[in-house]
Amino acid sequence: MTGPAAASLPPAASVTAAARARPGWRVPPLAAGALALAGGLWSALLLLGVDLPVPRPTLPEVHGPLMVLGFVGTLVALERAVALGSGWALLAPACSGLGALALLATGPTLGAKLLLATAAVALLGVYRQLWRRQPGPALLGQVAGALAWYAATLLWLGGYDVPQVVPWLATFAIATIAGERLDLAFVAGERARRWFLAALAALMGGATAATLWPVTGAHLFGAGLLAMVAWLATYDAARRTVRGTGLPRYGGAGLLAGYAWLAVAGVLWAGAGSTMDGPRYDAATHAVFLGFVLSMIFVHAPVILPAVLRRPLPYHPVLYAPLALLHGSLLARVVLGDAAGLEPVWRWAGVANVASVLLFAACAGSLAARGRGRS
């Protein structure tokens, strides 16, 4: 798939013939990422108070790392490994996948954290090779994302709790996605690139400040989020593609909705400052990781699956159903659950968040199977 709705690979990131000849090598890390997603969703239901078996007492504790590093991190690392086209690059998704499995099996142990940290180092090695092919601000944003991943794991290894490293986890996802969007901004002007670099610096500086000075630094992190939202809202092609039809319109709608949620998170952090638990923490973190990150995954899936597994994922309007469920249930969770304090609404809206992911997986699997049958 091509076009502004896609999460692009850099022009120099075409897959070599050798990498295409061994697509089966990509299946184990992808399967580990899927297990991380399953574990993350299960732990989400436990945190919501749903009466389910608890395989390990530590499972709710690793909900965030499972979703962000085990699932999203493995997807990002696998896509970049395929882009590079070298077998050694699969070390990054392999380590993140193994780290996720270790979290599921043993909890937040030293070994699990080290595997996730090693994955970040390997991903930086992948970006180093990609940089030799085509350096530029877009790839620099993705490098910053990998550095944020590494910083999060180092802090976690050093004894910081997961809520304390959330700014770095968020920066990993946001910088990576923003860097990919810059590839598709269709803007070659120097002004757009300078603005992007300034927003990226604000985001990284805000995450650093949130670690060094948690009380005041969180305000700066929120300002960094808003700076990145301002750049995305100004230069991203989604403002035009949402007026189109078919896949471009679907992608534009999901992207703009995601940017709106990122703005909500920025306002919460910039205005209210640091929080480690409670309704405001729930609203801010899920605005980023559900409203923004998952929305990006939903609309970028038509390019991620073909690039990674060489299986088509044709667009169909049915993809709007999980996208609408995701954003509608998140709106209910934040406004009626977190802000208004209606706990039953918060709980069932959270369950609907999980259902939106499962519905998307079912839709994507069905469309991929149909596309393969027609190919």
Q: What is the DSSP string of 187-237?
A: ---HHHHHHHHHHHHHHHHHHHHHHHSHHHHHHHHHHHHHHHHHHHHHH-T
Give the residue extent of every domain in the chain: 23-135
- pLDDT tens digit sequence for 239-296: 888 888 888 899 899 999 999 999 999 999 999 877 888 999 999 999 999 999 999 9
- Of 83, 64, 77, the C-alpha closest to 118 is 77
Q: What is the DSSP string of 313-339?
A: ----GGGHHHHHHHHHHHHHIIIIIII
Q: What is the rounded end-to-end Cα distance, in angstroms, of the chain? A: 14
Number of C-beta neighbours around residue 224 at 10 A? 29
Q: Are 33 and 71 in contact (CB under 8 A)?
A: yes
Q: Which residue blocks in 48-189 are alpha helix, DSSP H? A: 63-65, 74-84, 91-106, 110-133, 137-157, 162-183
Q: CB within 8 A of 242, min separation 6: which ones?
A: 248, 249, 252, 253, 255, 256
C-alpha to C-alpha distances, 148 to 33, 109, 141, 348, nearest whole angstrom: 19, 20, 11, 33
Structure tokens at 129: 């090779």
All residue ranges of the chain with pLDDT < 70 are 1-24, 185-188, 307, 309, 371-375
Q: Any idea what DSSP says for residue 275? A: -
Structure tokens at 26: 């990509």
Query: What number of residues does the chain have?
Result: 375
Torsion over CA of 308, 193, 211 and 93, rounded to 10 degrees? Answer: 10
Q: Are 63 and 40 in contact (CB under 8 A)?
A: yes
C-alpha to C-alpha distances, 209 to 30, 264, 298, 347, nearest whole angstrom: 34, 20, 31, 33
Q: Any idea what DSSP says for residue 16? A: P
Distance of alpha carbon 246 from alpha carbon 316, whole angstroms: 8
Structure tokens at 268: 């919460």
Exposure string of 86-99, with b = 16+ CB inside 10 Å and e = fewer, is beebbbbbbbbbbb
What's the confidence (pLDDT) of residue 276?
Answer: 83
* Residue 160 falls in which region: left (phi positive, over 0), alpha (psi -120 to 50) or beta: beta
- Of 128, 224, 116, the C-alpha closest to 167 is 224
How many helices, marked H, and strands, marked E, lie in the chain?
Answer: 16, 0
Q: CB within 8 A of 128, min separation 6: which ones?
A: none
- Of 79, 81, 75, the C-alpha closest to 97 is 75
